[in-house]
Amino acid sequence: MAGSVTASPPSPPSPTSPLEVAAGTAAGRRGLAWRLWRQPSGRTGLIILAVMVLAGLASLAGLAPDAPDAQNPSATLRGPSAAHLFGTDQFGRDILSRVMAGTVLSLQTALLAVAICAVVGTLGGVAAGYFGGAVSWAVTSVADLIFAVPSVLLALAIVSGLGPGWQNTAIAVGISYTPIFIRVVRGPVLAIRQAEYVKAARVLGFSRSRILFRHVLPGVGGILAVQVTLALGWAVLIEASLDFLGLGPPPPAATLGLMVSEGTNIAGIAWWNLAFPAVAVVLLVLGFTLTGDGLRDALDPASSAS
């Protein structure tokens, strides 16, 4: 233990929880992927996500059966068949192609949203936890204020102000989820701040940014990984809900939420208009939720026992 204090890039010594072990070392990470795969929920989640991401990539590569907005007046409201696996909508558009395009939109919105809240929330949480005092007060007050408005309502208000567009949806969802990252990160940082290896780094005169990024941040890596995965599922859910309410990209766009909303009205005569986009949303949300649950259990074996 004493030797690691003098070594300049200290691998986190005196690990206090399995979480830090798993997040800190390369061996831990390899073991983590394996443990995630061995969890039934983690494995199911990963498989679902792989299918959805592949479908999205295929759409981006132009491998979808048809263009998402290509209308065909002679083949409207056809049921699922060999020509149209998921059937067609009232304009004769191929639903499989639209679901694939919608999956891309959902994923890119969720990724941008979570990038925003993870970066802002982590920086805020680390700053609040590490510096304490006025910084902590300012950050947690802002987080509490955002938290005082239910997140769906907040996202709704922001997106209606910014106007339609997937980037704006992402910004709205990102802002409304930021306080959760602040809260999740701040607690562990408070503890890590007092850890021997951080004290040692301070004594050795390392710069503040070096301590924060090389010593403190890796300690919350595991928690962040879980939170990012869960946030992605939540972002897909809110994004689809906003699209469903008509606050996302306007109609020609193939968003899953809009497809569910349009499909509901004609579900009685053409169920596939509602069913396939709905299943796609559910799979995306479940995929992220299951993976996040699995990741949490893999990082902290004690929690999986319950």
Partner 1 sequence: MHVPAVALRIALLRVVLLRVAVRLAKAVITLVGVAVVVFIVLRLLPGNQITSSLGVNAGLLTKAQYADLEHFYGIGKPLPVQFGQWAGAMLRGNMGVSEQSGRSVTSLIGAALPVTLELAIAAMAIGLVIGVGAGAVAAASAGGLADRGARLIALAGLGVPSFVIGSGLVAFLASVFHYFPSSEGFASLFSDPWLNIQQIFWPALTLGLGIGAAILRTTRGAMLDVARQGYVRAARGRGLGPRLVIVKHVLRNALIPILTMSGIQFGYLLGGTVVVEQIFVLPGLGRLLLMSVTESDYAVAQGVTLVFALGFIAVNLITDLLYAVVDPRLRS
Site residues (CB under 8 A) for partner 1? 141, 144-145, 148-153, 156-158, 160-161, 233, 237, 240-241, 244-247, 257, 260-261, 263-264, 267-268, 271, 274, 278, 281-282, 285-286, 289-290, 306
What's the closest the beta carbon of residue 168 comes to partner 1, in angstroms? 12
Cβ distance to partner 1 smaller for residue 55 or 180: 180
Nearest to 113 by CA among 152, 167, 52: 167
Cβ distance to partner 1 smaller for residue 123 or 267: 267
Positive/negative CA dihedral, 259, 262, 264, 270: negative
What's the closest the beta carbon of residue 302 comes to partner 1, in angstroms? 11
Cβ distance to partner 1 smaller for residue 21 or 152: 152
Distance CA 197, CA 12 (A): 7
What's the closest the beta carbon of residue 89 comes to partner 1, in angstroms? 15
Contact 286, 45 (CB under 8 A): yes
Cβ distance to partner 1 smaller for residue 195 or 228: 228
What's the closest the beta carbon of residue 26 comes to partner 1, in angstroms? 32
What's the closest the beta carbon of residue 305 comes to partner 1, in angstroms? 9
What's the closest the beta carbon of residue 135 comes to partner 1, in angstroms? 18
Cβ distance to partner 1 smaller for residue 30 or 246: 246
Cβ distance to partner 1 smaller for residue 175 or 189: 175
Work out the burial of residue 4: count CB atoms within 10 Å of its CB; fewer than 13 is exposed, 13-18 middle, 19 or more buried: middle
